[in-house]
Structure 1
Amino acid sequence: MLQNVASDPGALAPEELRAQYDDRLRETVETVGAATVAEEAGVSRESVDALAAGESPDLTLEEAAAILATEAETPDADAIEMEVLDELMMGMSIAVVDVESLEADLDGELDAKEIQQKIEGRFPVSLSELAAIQQAIEARKP
């Protein structure tokens, strides 16, 4: 899903990775239709229309997962969200990186505790935060 939109997310800037997330979501909006996506995903029509117009609206992982789940052949939103978060945790293990190191990589955008809580799904993570975290993890992988 979102975690697989780029072949080498570690080589991209977080903004570039976020743009690829938006492109993937835009594909869903184009396939399913903006009105249907907004209704079924419970995401504001303004955000869905912004995606369709090529913009990058403020969305959380939860909202993005709900958008993706409107496609017929995709898992439900909870499964998508958990898959993305699990992939981050697995990436941290492979890269042998802890949240304190990620905090340093993110130049103080998020502190270690916030990163931990977001990766564990205890607090919402915006798509921009997700892109920054995923990029930082992937850049450290051997």
Structure 2
Amino acid sequence: MFYEQRMTVPDSPAELRAEYDADLRSVIEQHGPDEVAAATDVDRDSLEALLEGDSPALTLTEAAQILALEDGEPDADEIVTIACEHLLLGMSTAVLDVDAIESHIDIDLEAKEIQQKIEQRAPMSLAEFVHIQYVIADGAP
């Protein structure tokens, strides 16, 4: 699950996102897209896209809402909090600051934006989360 502490990552952010999409797809397959759509803020088209193997634009909160439907998982707000806390912990472990993340990230985010997103002062997309997490885990000893 994307909120767990990562110490290793696959070869690319795209492969990491594919792992997380598979986790989300599993929940949707188990509960059905109608139930997931009714219980989350995720639109039906995005759920169908996940079922078809695509990687739709989702917020971190939307992805957390999907995962929270799984038995034994924390609620969506707690998932987001845990995920962001693990990013901060990973930064400490890898001895990275937001400037270092900015210099290695493959998407257009400035250090200030990265800091705001990690601290949950600005919304974060799942794609942004994946890229930030990838840089942090890839830099971990």
TM range (shorter): over 0.9
Give the TM-score, by structure 1 length.
0.92
**Are 1:58 and 2:61 an aligned pair?**
no
What per-residue deviation string (whole Å, max 9, x for no partner) do you get for residues 37-83 of structure 1? 11101211111111111111000100000011112321110011111
Q: List runs of 5+ in structure 1 lacking aligned partners.
A: none
Alignment RMSD, CA only?
Answer: 1.7
The yes-or-no answer on 1:117 pairing with 2:116 is yes
Identity of aligned residues (%): 47
Counterpart check, 1:2 vs 2:2: yes
Helix, strand or coil: the match of 2:124? coil
The CA distance in 2 between the partners of 1:12 and 1:33, in whole Å, is: 31
Q: Distance in 2 between matches of 1:6 and 1:108?
A: 20
After superposition, the Cα gap between the structure-2 partners of 1:99 and 1:31, relative to the gap in structure 1 and judged at 3 Å, is same
Please give the alpha-carbon distance, in whole angstroms, between the structure 2 residues aligned to 1:97 and 1:7.
14
Gaps of 5+ in 2: none
2:79 match: secondary structure: helix
Structure 2: distance between partners of 1:129 and 1:86: 15
User: Would you identify which runs of 4 or more consecutive aligned residues in structure 1 move more than 6 Å?
Assistant: none
More helix by share: 1
* 27 and 7 in structure 1: CA distance in 2 versus 1, 3 angstrom threshold: farther
What is the aligned partner in structure 2 of residue 16 from structure 1? 15
Where 2:86 maps in the other structure, the secondary structure is: helix
- For this pair of structures, how many residues does the alignment match? 141
Structure 2 CA distance for aligned equivalents of residues 130 and 118 of structure 1: 9
Over 3 Å counting, the alpha-carbon distance change for 1:140 and 1:49 in structure 2 is same
